[in-house]
Structure 1
């Protein structure tokens, strides 16, 4: 992966391709952040694929920085289900999917935590638990466009080594007069065979004198879906000694194998209100409010098998040391597991902006914004296990994606005993208050024609509260000396009906299931409690803690972060020979103060598990110690963006900047603790409130050729030298508790690594307007991003990519002629690392993934349009693995989804 010679030769050959006219250009372009650059071209409503792409191209051509963007084809009309899905069409942008829907974005190989997401130039709170913004909370129908700033300028808010994404919404002054738009559609999910409604609307009006305007938009989406997943949590990197004395050194041992069928209902409701007032030609006020509510309710029916070394009776290991076949005996179990969850996510964003053209030379802008996000687990996610004693085998030696299982398949409801049971969840709250003042002064000083300057202050607090059932209730029934047998009438047969039909192998198609609430009710009944080893003690725990309800535990934290920034940009332009040039040079200073509040969690004891030999359960004390840590640092961030028009319609660009990304907020908590588990693999953990930001020096070069209306080709090269990249520091520690002395491996994040990222982007957008009718409606968009990295964490025989780093590509064919619009979009992302290696396991990777989406529409008349959409029409599987390709961690099938609908514009 780190063959630099090959990488640079590829870059040079691509430059040659550009000169031959075979290079490519970006999917779309962009404008500067509206509230920060009032003199830039404002959002103009466009209609249709072709007009949207032409507008994006024009803005890209005029932009001072290197920016790509998407714009709505019409009011309330984006071709994807959320903004992340649309952003992935842009060169260099890739997405992480959850449940088949885009959630987080990666830009130029830098993961979601390296991307800042703004709404109309303002920071958005998020329910992700960190800085990464979860786009699935946001319906695309409310959006007018989104810009991806790939290079930095002083006026852009710091915090993004990867990119700054600015999502824009419609304003009434953008749509003079009266406008009303409504869309209704029905979405069919092939995995469930069910149809769910989706509808959206927008109404906007301005007064005749254009002094006052009001806009209201809303969207309501429902989705009923099912996901099938074959899951192994991780592969231990360990050794193994069998009872017969045979020894296996340095093998990869799967922790478990679960077949998970998840039924899910998602309901998303968004609303946006914007008021604008212009008392005079040089003064404009804007007030806006956005609200989103996103409910996710799911049920998982799981056939589960847990593997432990002490219960192995036979194993088979392949050439790379992966355990591909095993037999379990010695008191092992086949489990049926049920998880039920209902979570509500809410986002509120409020803003006020005043823009004042003081005179022809001076413009001022004042902006204040507040946003808050909350994730509420309600009653919590249940985790309930019923076990059937018996031997079983697991066989993946054939090379199929799904293993062959041999176990008691009779689906009899007799002979199942109570195992683990708990509720758990997180309450996450994030709120951001920020204000800024911007000014632009026109000057006449040689090539210097404008100076921009401003200041910003921000106050952000992220709080995470972990909730769970009080210990030791979860394992009491499963670890009882006598099995607690469950009644037969609690169970029914779950028909998986074509489980993971898109994968290879022969998975189970039915297993027993039950209801989590029935499970809790039965095991807490007086008759069952009387069968326990300590009935009085357990009953007291139940009474004191209201049974299997959730309670806050010490693993809670609150991070407050205050920012203060000053910045200035100088805008210069001139001419060399017949070549026009422009330069934007700036400097941003920012000071960061953080306060981290959390707890140190005491470990009272480790209790051996009756159900899992060789495993222990951690008992934590209630007398935990509050910890507060303060931290501060400041950064000077220079930037320069230069543009040279070598000849008409041929642009070259150069950019250099220094940027930062602050550590994820959850990594800055002061909490620490010890876990239970396999006594040979005990781990403890801690965060690090003294983490410093990642610092990157960035270099960008680009050539853009705008050879026809709506058509262009481009190539760009980028390099990022990142210092302070996080690694895991691990310390061996012996812990003594009443039950004995145990060896722990304690880990926490530290700033220690340095990483170099290099890449280049190729893109083309071409409209075949010179072809004879009706083929002159054809068009193509193609782009490819190549990314490579080197890191001080690399080992000679095992170079490691950075998280999220991987090549990506798009190919979009479209046709627009008269009343007809058609589009086929192929999006591809190469294998990338999803989580870092640990001492006891290797890194986790997402395999190559390619998805095909289709859409089309027909304009019945100037007011009504009918349309259809297809998502993941080829039913691609989403696969994650450990180090080797046959070490499957998760294979998920989400299935295709199809929609039909009607849109009205008045």
Structure 2
């Protein structure tokens, strides 16, 4: 066992080893007693959770590549409330959460940007702002299954170094005849103690002797939630004197904020599928999906901003981290953020599956999807406060520090600070068309050839909006602070802020409504307090006040992809052992166009004759268009080989080259140039000429399928990734009327290479040999160990890779007769979330585990009741810096429970 294994990992390892102890005997009994000609064996019908697990094992065993799968337990019944939550049960898959819900995937240590998520084999537009797919917009009730492809074949759409995830939805021809399924449930949130309704339904039917089918499904989700968070943005490094003493380089907390966020989510989703099968060799499918997510939230924040010049009586720990101090001559403030946003997803496609003849099958698929994120009026960021002193104490080791305050000066009024509205509008559109062919051969080494082509046209646009300068700061920076009426304020009672964490946080503080504050700040009562109110009156009259103004420097990136591929499937026997192999080659051409508007560098001039090497940047009065094109091509070979060592033991090896393109939001064409000393001129910007990450991938696995639904698998993998992005200085020549100048431009560039290696161990066992009723017990357990190294020579950035962590899953389930239940434990070890910077160390997410439970009882053939619990032990999500006592975030999302009834007809 690796020496760095956590206690939880060792416990799970012990569970795996103990579980393996009885497997051989069970397998022997199964082999001795099983006979496909035995009528009793053939009559066994397995449904529900057990059938879902058996089907998933079948997908894994039969595939020509390394793949893991999850399948629906029944029509419209997925194993978890969220698709990402289900995917994390797969070996090597971990998730990032938002508001306690799974949102983004990491596979084998590769983050969301390195994984491709497809819906029915199609790229889906997303509101993430990049390529990563946000799972919280997709209802689990609409999903039929999901496959995680961990090795590449030429047939598989390129774009993923980590894994390709294909999510499938239901179709009427999958289950001919009439089907109707519906469920209603109540969702209870443990933090708000609020109950909200959820509904889902599906109706499907086939007509005209099953030649025509229609399926419609819908899902309604409503949740009122809250999370509490103790937040420190960073521990920055400084050598400044603290209270007149120099302690050398110290770690100084940037701030400490108590954030209570209340949130309302409402999601409406639906699908419509039409299928026509006029003959056995032709099937036409037209389908569409729609999802809308409305998200409203409010943050009541008690903020504290720390400055080195205001600390008194500092106390430092053994790491030279400031853990205690009195802050004098500062402000005691209150901060409010409010937001109301909407995400929309609309997609549809046409699929024609034509069996041309006995050997040749052709599939033509055309699809289009559009996703849009609308920030509406934008999210507010508003601050008010009064002069005051406070003390900060984290020396006890509690997760939450103690803040104490000097007696308030009742004569000191509350005054205005920063106030703004801001937000980003995102539009993503994807058009795809592809043709896939398969041609089968009889006899000989070559059994099948698969070949085809793919075309994609994608455009991502991003527009930032913000309250126009100088409104955000003018009220706070006015020489005489603008006094706010006390009628704007009320006391916020947190009702047990971060009760699940150690420490004694403040439980109540003043708060207000952002909209009311904006209304007051644009009133004559507030404007008359300004030093020079006339320019602000004119600005408010022109812009409408605290409204978002779209940044003219918006941009969009268009990307066209064209690819051709061929896979040759070969099979034969090595002695008495059947083998198969797939040799593939995929050619892909990528053409991108980055379009934007920016203030242009017009000239560089000298304004001080005594400093002839100093130049000043002269910029254009208006925004000018910028357009940059980039084109590159790649050949991606792959080999996947499989050997049936025995009827139950399978060995696999695979090698491939794969790529991941840079995030679209890193390909903006905008660059900002400054003046200064000739020879030392600097600029910064994005990089529309970024090249893709490229990886050589090696996989080897051994899989033992010793009885139905039961298996043991061990897999090793290695990835050698080149072109890993970092921020670097690039020398570029800029020509203006006064001459040509050399700039050092800070941009994201393809800088480093990274090597990733890992080991996966998975066991699933059905205890069918136990006496009834214990023969309904089953267990699934898996562990993933990963490590990385990097070519970077930048101190502090060499290890580890962002998002890389070990993970473990343990699921105990029972299904017998009408009763079914499951307890799922998931753990992800500590991982790096953001790289070190010049003034601070890296930021880490601490070891996190979660326990989820579910149970159902079938009342009769048509109705069942169910109970689900998420994060039932109320685990905390914790982030820290290089030293674990440098706590950055402690977040409590609480448990949530669902009670419902499901009907099927």
TM-score (normalizing by structure 1): 0.90
* Distance of 1:429 and 1:48 partners within structure 2: 40
* Distance of 2:18 and 2:457 partners within structure 1: 46
Match of 1:55 in 2: 55
Alignment deviations for residues 266-314 of structure 1 (CA, whole Å, 9 cap, x no partner): 0011000000001121111000000000011001000001112333334
Matched, 1:406 2:424: no
SS of 1:571's partner is strand
SS of 1:805's partner is coil
Matched, 1:726 2:725: yes
Unmatched 5+ residue regions in structure 2? 25-44, 603-617, 675-681, 733-742
Match of 1:209 in 2: 209
SS of 1:639's partner is strand
* Distance of 1:393 and 1:114 partners within structure 2: 44
Match of 2:434 in 1: 436
* Distance of 1:696 and 1:2 partners within structure 2: 26
SS of 1:241's partner is coil
* Distance of 1:519 and 1:791 partners within structure 2: 50
SS of 2:495's partner is coil
Match of 1:88 in 2: 88
Match of 2:615 in 1: none
CA change 1:52–1:507 in 2 (3 A) is same
CA change 1:602–1:47 in 2 (3 A) is farther
Q: How many residues align?
A: 847
* Distance of 2:23 and 2:308 partners within structure 1: 56
Question: Are the equivalent residues in 1 in contact too, given 2:145–2:168 (CA < 8 A)?
Answer: yes
SS of 1:50's partner is helix
Alignment deviations for residues 767-819 of structure 1 (CA, whole Å, 9 cap, x no partner): 11111111111000000000000011366777421111100110000010100
Match of 2:121 in 1: 121
Match of 1:583 in 2: 581
How far off is 1:467 after superposition? 0.5
Structure 1 segment 747-786 matched on structure 2, within 5 A: 747-786=746-785
Question: Are the equivalent residues in 2 in contact too, given 1:23–1:715 (CA < 8 A)?
Answer: no
CA change 1:732–1:158 in 2 (3 A) is closer
Question: Are the equivalent residues in 1 in contact too, given 2:791–2:798 (CA < 8 A)?
Answer: no
How far off is 1:888 after superposition? 1.5
Match of 1:897 in 2: 896
* Distance of 1:207 and 1:64 partners within structure 2: 36
Question: Are the equivalent residues in 1 in contact too, given 2:59–2:68 (CA < 8 A)?
Answer: no
* Distance of 1:93 and 1:384 partners within structure 2: 39
* Distance of 1:233 and 1:516 partners within structure 2: 23
* Distance of 1:583 and 1:779 partners within structure 2: 33
How far off is 1:46 after superposition? 7.8
Question: Are the equivalent residues in 1 in contact too, given 2:189–2:897 (CA < 8 A)?
Answer: yes
* Distance of 2:569 and 2:802 partners within structure 1: 36
Structure 1 segment 444-843 matched on structure 2, within 5 A: 444=442, 446-600=444-598, 623-673=622-672, 685-729=684-728, 747-793=746-792, 799-843=798-842
* Distance of 2:690 and 2:856 partners within structure 1: 51
CA change 1:514–1:462 in 2 (3 A) is same
CA change 1:65–1:90 in 2 (3 A) is same
CA change 1:275–1:628 in 2 (3 A) is same
Question: Are the equivalent residues in 2 in contact too, given 1:560–1:594 (CA < 8 A)?
Answer: yes
* Distance of 1:731 and 1:565 partners within structure 2: 32
* Distance of 1:620 and 1:510 partners within structure 2: 49
CA change 1:17–1:868 in 2 (3 A) is closer
More off after superposition, 836-845 vs 769-778? 836-845
How far off is 1:538 after superposition? 0.9
CA change 1:413–1:130 in 2 (3 A) is farther
Question: Are the equivalent residues in 1 in contact too, given 2:552–2:597 (CA < 8 A)?
Answer: yes
Unmatched 5+ residue regions in structure 1? 25-44, 605-618, 676-682, 734-743
Alignment deviations for residues 467-526 of structure 1 (CA, whole Å, 9 cap, x no partner): 100011100000000011111111100000110011111100000010101111111111
SS of 2:141's partner is helix
Alignment deviations for residues 109-145 of structure 1 (CA, whole Å, 9 cap, x no partner): 1000000000000001100000000000001000000
* Distance of 1:345 and 1:46 partners within structure 2: 39
Match of 1:42 in 2: none
How far off is 1:423 after superposition? 0.2
CA change 1:624–1:412 in 2 (3 A) is farther
Match of 2:77 in 1: 77
The equivalent position to 2:374 in structure 1, one of 366, 376, 398, is 376
TM-score (normalizing by structure 2): 0.90
How far off is 1:207 after superposition? 1.2
Question: Are the equivalent residues in 1 in contact too, given 2:711–2:764 (CA < 8 A)?
Answer: yes
Question: Are the equivalent residues in 1 in contact too, given 2:690–2:749 (CA < 8 A)?
Answer: yes
Alignment deviations for residues 161-210 of structure 1 (CA, whole Å, 9 cap, x no partner): 00000000000000110000000000111111110000100000001511
* Distance of 2:191 and 2:208 partners within structure 1: 51
Question: Are the equivalent residues in 2 in contact too, given 1:23–1:764 (CA < 8 A)?
Answer: no
* Distance of 1:463 and 1:893 partners within structure 2: 34
How far off is 1:531 after superposition? 1.4
Question: Are the equivalent residues in 1 in contact too, given 2:387–2:412 (CA < 8 A)?
Answer: no
Match of 1:32 in 2: none
Question: Are the equivalent residues in 2 in contact too, given 1:365–1:437 (CA < 8 A)?
Answer: yes
How far off is 1:23 after superposition? 9.8
Match of 1:172 in 2: 172
CA change 1:242–1:732 in 2 (3 A) is farther
Matched, 1:197 2:197: yes
Question: Are the equivalent residues in 2 in contact too, given 1:2–1:788 (CA < 8 A)?
Answer: no
Question: Are the equivalent residues in 2 in contact too, given 1:217–1:271 (CA < 8 A)?
Answer: yes
Structure 1 segment 323-338 matched on structure 2, within 5 A: 323-330=322-329, 332-338=330-336
Question: Are the equivalent residues in 1 in contact too, given 2:299–2:338 (CA < 8 A)?
Answer: yes
CA change 1:528–1:160 in 2 (3 A) is same
How far off is 1:732 after superposition? 12
CA change 1:554–1:732 in 2 (3 A) is farther
Alignment deviations for residues 800-842 of structure 1 (CA, whole Å, 9 cap, x no partner): 2111110011000001010000110000001111122222222
Match of 2:36 in 1: none
* Distance of 2:97 and 2:80 partners within structure 1: 14
* Distance of 2:21 and 2:581 partners within structure 1: 27
Question: Are the equivalent residues in 1 in contact too, given 2:452–2:565 (CA < 8 A)?
Answer: yes
Structure 1 segment 83-482 matched on structure 2, within 5 A: 83-242=83-242, 244=244, 246-330=245-329, 332-408=330-406, 415-444=413-442, 446-482=444-480
SS of 1:539's partner is helix
Aligned Cα root-mean-square deviation (Å): 2.7
Question: Are the equivalent residues in 2 in contact too, given 1:46–1:72 (CA < 8 A)?
Answer: no
Question: Are the equivalent residues in 2 in contact too, given 1:124–1:432 (CA < 8 A)?
Answer: yes
* Distance of 1:666 and 1:23 partners within structure 2: 50
Match of 1:34 in 2: none
Question: Are the equivalent residues in 1 in contact too, given 2:198–2:222 (CA < 8 A)?
Answer: yes
CA change 1:538–1:776 in 2 (3 A) is same
* Distance of 2:637 and 2:601 partners within structure 1: 48
Question: Are the equivalent residues in 2 in contact too, given 1:601–1:671 (CA < 8 A)?
Answer: no
Match of 1:41 in 2: none
* Distance of 1:903 and 1:673 partners within structure 2: 58
CA change 1:413–1:370 in 2 (3 A) is farther
SS of 1:587's partner is strand
More off after superposition, 549-558 vs 95-104? 549-558
SS of 2:580's partner is strand
* Distance of 2:673 and 2:333 partners within structure 1: 27
SS of 2:622's partner is coil
SS of 1:759's partner is strand
CA change 1:21–1:571 in 2 (3 A) is farther
More off after superposition, 48-57 vs 422-431? 48-57
